Homo-oligomer: A and B are copies of this chain.
């Protein structure tokens, strides 16, 4: 993974000074990671090297799946779904609608949506002939998310026609949660999330690993990628891409650029944008700082997809308010090499013929970078070696460390989400009235 900082638009001295503020905390992260325990909020850093947990995941999957498996249903919302969805979609899911007969396929039920649920129940009825064809993964850290319980009850009820349907369910939740209790009562397979691992930092825990491994995604490579990024970011803060990125975002947010656009030049990475959106929004968006002072801190994440969104949002970015900083994400290597045929059919643009789509995408990317530069817009560039388990693991680990460091710089607790309890409580009160 290559990082380019040439256009970050921050004086070198200022960048160095901000990064040095992170020395102590980087040391703390290193110590947490080396401890391989789960005692503090930063403990998600222990996940990529936790072989015991990996083996538990692999064991439960071996017990619960056969070669007949066709559909994996992930019932979870927010941190219990976005990580698996990002990786699955990047590697496989983007082509699901085009390859109906390649299995297993993964479905995500997050919101409680009447129309989608109805269509999904009809699909289950027609498509699932044998209980071994389906695996239901129910993930909820607290075990009390309304949406998760609603979707789980409805889907399980639809599978009751198979006497053994409970054998094809895996529950991932906190050890002490109400959901863990009912899973045990019903003798359903379940696996705990280490307690200190928060939802948005849980992709390398069973929350992400169970569905991904079930779908045949190489989770060892995913974790290997994450470990390589931990080394790169925690060995020293000076060269850490997480520290540089956090410092850059911090500097610009202070200067009024409080929107961070992640611009993926890869349609397959669309849901990686959604995953990072939660990570940045929930971690940094805080009413109060660590000292209890009301600060309304936060950076608003947005996602763009190249080249689609050049045709929808570029006019605003290039001409509009100077309130944004961009991180471009692109790939060195594509897995396929489709070309515009040499022989023209319609072609009003003769120079395109014979060129590979890769080459054309690259030209659009270069044109965009030149245009941002000309307009004096600050940006970072990240070049993934390829779209693979290991590069996705590295990218996500980079972002999780970035956000921890950014919390430190902004003086906020990157690990809580105090303001959302409120609407949940209000909803609960309405529903239980």
Chain A contacts to B: CB under 8 angstroms: 77-79, 82, 94-100, 107, 110-123, 138, 143-147, 149-150, 152-154, 156-157, 160, 171, 177-179, 181-183, 186, 188, 199, 258-259, 266-268, 274, 277-278, 281-282, 284-288, 296-298, 300, 302, 305-308, 310-324, 334-341, 343-349, 351-353, 355-358, 360-361, 363-364, 366-368, 370-371, 374-375, 387, 417-420, 422-432
**Which of B100, B315, B371 is in CB contact (< 8 Å) with A100?**
B100
- Residues of the B chain whose Cβ atoms lie less than 8 Å from the Cβ of A160: 345
- Residues of the B chain whose Cβ atoms lie less than 8 Å from the Cβ of A348: 143-144, 149, 177-179, 181-182
Asked whether A119 lies within 8 Å of B95 as measured between CB atoms, the reply is yes
**Shortest Cβ gap from A37 to chain B (Å):** 27
Asked whether B182 lies within 8 Å of A121 as measured between CB atoms, the reply is no
Asked whether A357 lies within 8 Å of B282 as measured between CB atoms, the reply is no
Counting from the closest, the 5 A-B pairs by CB-CB distance are: A78-B311, A298-B320, A285-B316, A367-B427, A178-B348
- Residues of the B chain whose Cβ atoms lie less than 8 Å from the Cβ of A117: 336, 338, 357
**Shortest Cβ gap from A416 to chain B (Å):** 9
Asked whether B307 lies within 8 Å of A360 as measured between CB atoms, the reply is no
Asked whether A346 lies within 8 Å of B156 as measured between CB atoms, the reply is yes
Asked whether B285 lies within 8 Å of A315 as measured between CB atoms, the reply is yes
Q: How far is the CA of A41 from the CA of B281 in the complex (A)?
A: 38
Q: How far is the CA of A371 from the CA of B182 in the complex (A)?
A: 31
Most B C-beta atoms less than 10 A away, residue of A145, A285, A323, A418: A285
Contact A266/B340 with A297-B321, A311-B78, A426-B370 known, Cβ cut-off 8 Å: no
**Shortest Cβ gap from A4 to chain B (Å):** 18
Closest residue on chain B to residue A366 by CB atoms: B430
**Which of B78, B312, B314 is in CB contact (< 8 Å) with A312?**
B78
**Shortest Cβ gap from A64 to chain B (Å):** 17
Asked whether A259 lies within 8 Å of B361 as measured between CB atoms, the reply is no
- Residues of the B chain whose Cβ atoms lie less than 8 Å from the Cβ of A344: 153
Q: How far is the CA of A408 from the CA of B49 in the complex (A)?
A: 58
- Residues of the B chain whose Cβ atoms lie less than 8 Å from the Cβ of A274: 312
**Which of B188, B267, B429 is in CB contact (< 8 Å) with A113?**
B267
By secondary structure, the A interface counts as helix
**Shortest Cβ gap from A342 to chain B (Å):** 10
Q: How far is the CA of A117 from the CA of B356 in the complex (A)?
A: 12
Q: How far is the CA of A345 from the CA of B150 in the complex (A)?
A: 11
- Residues of the B chain whose Cβ atoms lie less than 8 Å from the Cβ of A171: 346
Most B C-beta atoms less than 10 A away, residue of A258, A312, A366: A312
- Residues of the B chain whose Cβ atoms lie less than 8 Å from the Cβ of A287: 318-320
- Residues of the B chain whose Cβ atoms lie less than 8 Å from the Cβ of A358: 114
Asked whether A316 lies within 8 Å of B300 as measured between CB atoms, the reply is yes
Asked whether A315 lies within 8 Å of B282 as measured between CB atoms, the reply is yes
Most B C-beta atoms less than 10 A away, residue of A183, A306, A360: A360
Asked whether A316 lies within 8 Å of B100 as measured between CB atoms, the reply is no
Q: How far is the CA of A322 from the CA of B300 in the complex (A)?
A: 11
Asked whether A419 lies within 8 Å of B282 as measured between CB atoms, the reply is no
Asked whether A146 lies within 8 Å of B360 as measured between CB atoms, the reply is yes
**Shortest Cβ gap from A303 to chain B (Å):** 10
Closest residue on chain B to residue A288 by CB atoms: B319
Contact A315/B420 with A112-B357, A323-B258 known, Cβ cut-off 8 Å: yes
Closest residue on chain B to residue A344 by CB atoms: B153
**Which of B82, B156, B178, B419 is in CB contact (< 8 Å) with A314?**
B419
Q: How far is the CA of A154 from the CA of B345 in the complex (A)?
A: 9
- Residues of the B chain whose Cβ atoms lie less than 8 Å from the Cβ of A371: 422-423, 426
Closest residue on chain B to residue A287 by CB atoms: B319
Q: How far is the CA of A268 from the CA of B179 in the complex (A)?
A: 29
